[in-house]
A and B are shown apart, each in its own frame.
Chain A
């Protein structure tokens, strides 16, 4: 019952905010050098809440977009860049389906604002293969049948790639612990662990 009420309230606030911001002259991103020097000890220039220019580097390609500051990296990848390999599971940082690499570090894209990853290199599942040649971790997940429905798989694979680049221990218990940020509802864990360990050179 509370859902429609909240939605309406949210809608009204969304509708009102740009008007308020515009009337106050906010959202101007550029300043002259002199003004910037003054601003360094005063108030920072702010952008938004409407769409603002955001440049993202994803899988080596630069995308120039206009998005609102509140848009997550996950929604940007899926809805704006059509990179739907990154999955939305819980959308609250508890399942890991949205795992991507940001400057090589595994990251929950659902809790990342796209505007904050400008200047960083984002790698998604689409950027892992070398042309038609699968990344060894992708091949290992196929080889070891490391999935059933496949929904968590892109996140699992990126997390596993990061686990190895972080040089974590690869005994079975350690792989389970260091993969614990990726939940699999099908329960394919034994095969996921086997896949990760095989790439680490430790065939299960």
Chain B
């Protein structure tokens, strides 16, 4: 690990100013991702700004049925929160299916949506990776790519985004609240992450130094009937090969509103508008769910070792939709 300076922030304004003072500065909260990457020399911050003492840890239930998650709330705290489990089941499920109890005690909500890919080539500094070293190439496209993207990738990057939570947040229309040097702004989660294109080093719409202050879960028609399905190589403590977050508002047997999001298939948490369109206005039955699975995976393409993900995604979508949309 490189040597670095350390500063502890007690208010957001000075944290932002400190970030601006050093182009090599980075925030640290739970540290589960950044410390790991620093040990591998994947990232080498010159200054760590510790934001764990900022007053952003609360979980507030909102009178309209929403919940506001402070950016520093840990994954454990959110997963254990009764209102989150009752109002946003997919969010709580996605957290409980993530990482380990230890890591969930450490990792924060803000950090979770910012976590970096688990692509082995990104994490090995002896390998070509356009995300780590722009212009160096992508070793995964012709390499060991079983874990990699089947949609949303580019000639520069076919990594997958590792967050379970971010997939569930897509099914909940979550809003990321951000404080920057020019003020506060609210970013819908489906506009937060950006596709790699020709700039895979850029992963979100955040500007350098921006601080996530909260993630808001608004009350929606379908959030209470949501489900997170995770398919992985072992029963626990593993990243997703494919995951599905589905939420449905079904009335009189007809789907009135739907959110369908996939994990493990794209460089970003992947919302399938095509899949959602195949659901809305249709009867909530097996035929509709199969059609949605087809629509959601149309255009997906594997790189050899990960071809299986397309069929796996289709089956996982049908299973998740059946779970959440079963006639009661």
Partners in one complex: yes
Contact (A52, B11) CB under 8 Å given A70-B1, A107-B106, A108-B102? no
Q: Is the CB of B32 within 8 A of A108?
A: yes
Residue B100 is within 8 A (CB to CB) of chain A in the complex: yes
Given A14-B2, A69-B6, decide whether A40 and B13 contact each other with a Cβ distance below 8 A. yes
B181 to chain A, nearest CB (A): 12
Per the bound structure, the CA–CA distance linking A48 and B105 in Å amounts to: 27
A116 within 8 A of B: yes
Pairwise interchain contact B105-A105, C-beta atoms closer than 8 A? yes
- A70-B101 in contact given A39-B14, A111-B35 (Cβ < 8 Å): no
Asked whether any CB of chain A lies closer than 8 Å to the CB of B139, the reply is no
**Which residue of chain B has the shortest Cβ distance to A166 in the bound complex?**
B101
Is B212 part of the binding interface, using a Cβ–Cβ cutoff of 8 Å?
A: no
Q: A91-B39, A177-B236 are in contact. Are A14 and B8 (CB under 8 A)?
A: no
CA distance A27 to B296 in the complex (A): 53
A167's nearest neighbour on chain B, judged by CB, is B80
| Contact pattern, A 151-191, Cβ under 8 Å of B = 1, otherwise 0 | 00000000100110010000000001110111000000000
Does B103 lie within 8 Å of A108, measured CB to CB?
Answer: yes
Pairwise interchain contact A26-B5, C-beta atoms closer than 8 A: yes
Partner pick for A112 among B14, B101, B106, CB 8 A cutoff: B106
Residue of B40, B236, B237 contacting most chain A CB atoms (<10 Å) = B237
Contacts of B106 in A (CB 8 A): 107-108, 111-112
- Kindly list chain A residues whose C-beta atoms are within 8 Å of the C-beta of B1: 70
Contact B125 A6 (CB under 8 A): yes
Give Cα A27–Cα B46 distance, bound, in whole angstroms: 12
B4-44 near A? 1/0 per residue, CB < 8 Å: 11111111011101100100000010011001101111001
Chain A positions 1 through 36: 1 when the CB is less than 8 Å from some CB of chain B, otherwise 0? 010001000100110011001000011000000000
Among the stretches B48-56, B64-72, B262-270, the one at the interface with A is B48-56
Q: Are A112 and B4 in contact (CB-based, < 8 A)?
A: no
| Residues 41-52 of chain A, each 1 if its beta carbon lies under 8 Å from chain B, else 0 | 111111111101
Q: How many residues of B contact A (CB 8 A)?
A: 46
How many residues does chain A have at the interface if contact means C-beta atoms less than 8 Å apart? Answer: 52
Residues of B within 8 A of A108 (CB): 32, 102-103, 106
Q: Which residues of A contact B14 (CB under 8 A)?
A: 39-44
Q: How far is the CA of A174 from the CA of B31 in the complex (A)?
A: 27
User: Residue B252 at the A interface, CB < 8 A?
Assistant: no
Which A residues are in CB contact (< 8 Å) with B47?
Answer: 46
B237 in contact with A46 (CB, 8 Å):
no
Cross-chain contact A113 with B236 (CB below 8 angstroms):
no
Do residues B3 and A107 form an inter-chain contact, with CB atoms below 8 A?
A: no
Nearest CB in chain A to that of B100: its residue = A181
Beta-carbon contact of A70 and B4 below 8 Å: yes
Interface-centre pick from B13, B35, B41 (highest chain A CB count, 10 A): B35
- Partner-B contacts on A (CB < 8 A): 2, 6, 10, 13-14, 17-18, 21, 26-27, 39-50, 52, 68-70, 72, 91-94, 96, 99, 105-108, 111-113, 115-116, 159, 162-163, 166, 176-178, 180-182
Q: List 16 A-B contacts (CB under 8 A).
A: A2-B126, A6-B125, A44-B17, A46-B6, A49-B4, A69-B48, A106-B101, A107-B102, A107-B105, A111-B103, A112-B35, A113-B48, A116-B50, A162-B101, A181-B237, A182-B100
Given contacts A41-B14, A181-B99, 16 further A-B contacts (CB under 8 A): A27-B5, A40-B10, A46-B18, A49-B5, A70-B38, A72-B35, A93-B102, A96-B102, A111-B106, A113-B6, A113-B35, A115-B6, A159-B101, A176-B236, A181-B101, A181-B103
